[in-house]
Amino acid sequence: MVSLEYSQYTDVIEKRNMDWIAEYKLLLLIPLISAVVGWLTNYLAVKMMFYPINFIGIKAPYLGWQGLIPQKRREMAEISVDLVLGKLLSVQELASRLDPKKITEAIERRLCQVLKKVINDVMRESAPTVWAALPAQGKALVYARVEADIPNVIDKMVSDFQYNIVEILDIKELVVEYLSDHPALINEIFLTAGDKEFPFIIRSGFYFGFLLGLPTMVVWYFYQAWWILPLGGLLVGYLTNWIALKIIFEPKNPIKIGPFVIQGMFLKRQNEVADVYSNLIEKKLMNSENIVKAVLHGSGSEQLVELIDLHVNDAIERYVSIAQPYFGLGIGSEKYFKMQELACKRIYENSEKYLLYMHEYANGALNIGEDLREKMQALSPEEFEGVLRPAYQQDEWKLIVTGALLGGIAGILQVVYLFIPS
């Protein structure tokens, strides 16, 4: 009998111990789940900054979602250009770095080929009879004069281009329109420049989530109201995002505490970020290829056409005078003006065929990357923060609120699936 009572007693003790272990296992799950929630909400926050690249949903911008960075790419481009052009780079200074002689050397061979074809096409269209009657010697003289005159024409055109660069080339238009048409590039700029900060945001969610889950665990132990865990999850989702963003950008200026120097992660890496940012801008945005396209097809292209007209018409006057003995009575004023107009048009239309040969030289001469790097590194922390953050800063609350909502949902699921059945 005594043996039976003792056995029952030990069973009760064992059951109580097992219940205690089970209870505390569930309690210990709270900070662990909070850590996972913190990681997940921060992971989603980072992804929501960049993806999807294009809007997905029913009606923009309310019924659906587009990554904050791609959505704000036009505003970001405008801010970046204002900073780059207003404080760092001068369009006039960039244009002055181009050497007409070097440009001539780069494009002369291809330009000669293009001009010979243009001369033939123009003369066949505007004065076919005269051109057909012109002997080979006369045509050779025109070709030779054109070839010999190319350095002189290019020198004058480059000089005028440099003088009128503000009217011909709108860098702001180039950057804004290019980034608007290439949203993936703005993502690449941010992800590459912030390749240390964004992974930190994700990782920190786990650490901060665990720490924030500990007080939630303690409160739940003493007061098991149904709303405790949802509220704890909401706070975890909110605070992990908020803290991560603060650590990246705050404090702006270095603060020394004993042997330690505290400063926002992004700002602390100013030299490194400036290097990465300037390389991307030079190679993929403000390169010779894009600048030439902006010059030829941008809002200032009309001014460029006028410049071409001026110098081509002047050159035609010289070329025709050389071949005049072979023209006899000439081609008439109407055909002559038609010839001039057509020649300018064809030279402009074929410009990319010969200008592409100057890209390598121009990229080296402009040296945008090195210049931009040095000047970005010299910016104050406040100015440097303005390179990447301001355009989407106003929408950071969306990420924080989304994190909070996801955390709250996770807390509800904890109550439903872990604690109610027990």
State pLDDT tens for residues 101-126.
Answer: 888 888 888 888 888 888 888 888 87
pLDDT digits (tens, 9 = 90+) for 138-158: 778 778 888 888 888 888 888
Lookup: tokens for 341 = 């107009």
Q: Is residue 124 classed exposed, middle or buried when 0-12, 13-18 and 19+ CB atoms within 10 A define those classes?
A: exposed
The pLDDT-based confidence of 13 (bands split at 50, 70, 90) is very low
Average pLDDT over residues 312-327: 65
pLDDT of 338 reads 78
Of the given ranges (14-18, 23-27, 359-363, 395-399), which has the lowest mean pLDDT? 14-18
Evaluated on CA atoms 299, 301, 303, 306, the torsion sign reads: negative
**Torsions phi, psi of 391, nearest 5?**
-65, -35
pLDDT of 375 reads 83
pLDDT of 421 reads 54
Give Rg (Cα) of the chain.
35
Of the given ranges (113-122, 125-134, 244-253, 340-349), which has the lowest mean pLDDT? 125-134
pLDDT of 155 reads 86
Q: Per-residue pLDDT for 36 more than 80? A: yes
The pLDDT-based confidence of 173 (bands split at 50, 70, 90) is confident
The pLDDT-based confidence of 328 (bands split at 50, 70, 90) is very low
pLDDT of 358 reads 87
For 120, residues 6+ apart whose C-beta sits below 8 A from its C-beta are: 131
Lookup: tokens for 295 = 């010059």
For 230, residues 6+ apart whose C-beta sits below 8 A from its C-beta are: 408, 409, 411, 412, 415
Q: Per-residue pLDDT for 283 more than 70? A: yes
Q: Per-residue pLDDT for 294 more than 80? A: yes
CB contact at 8 A, 27 and 223: no
Average pLDDT over residues 231-250: 84
From CA 128, how far away is CA 268, in angstroms rounded? 70
pLDDT of 14 reads 47
Amino acid identity, position 220: W
Q: Per-residue pLDDT for 244 more than 60? A: yes
State the average pLDDT for the chain: 79
From CA 168, how far away is CA 156, in angstroms rounded? 16
Of the given ranges (253-262, 321-330, 351-360), which has the lowest mean pLDDT? 321-330
Q: Is residue 229 classed exposed, middle or buried when 0-12, 13-18 and 19+ CB atoms within 10 A define those classes?
A: buried
CB atoms near residue 361 (< 10 Å): 17
Lookup: tokens for 61 = 């911008």
Q: Is residue 420 classed exposed, middle or buried when 0-12, 13-18 and 19+ CB atoms within 10 A define those classes?
A: exposed
pLDDT digits (tens, 9 = 90+) for 43-96: 888 888 888 888 888 876 667 788 888 888 888 778 777 776 666 777 888 888
Angle among Cα 178, 184, 185 to the nearest 5 degrees reads 55
CB contact at 8 A, 355 and 347: no
pLDDT of 86 reads 64
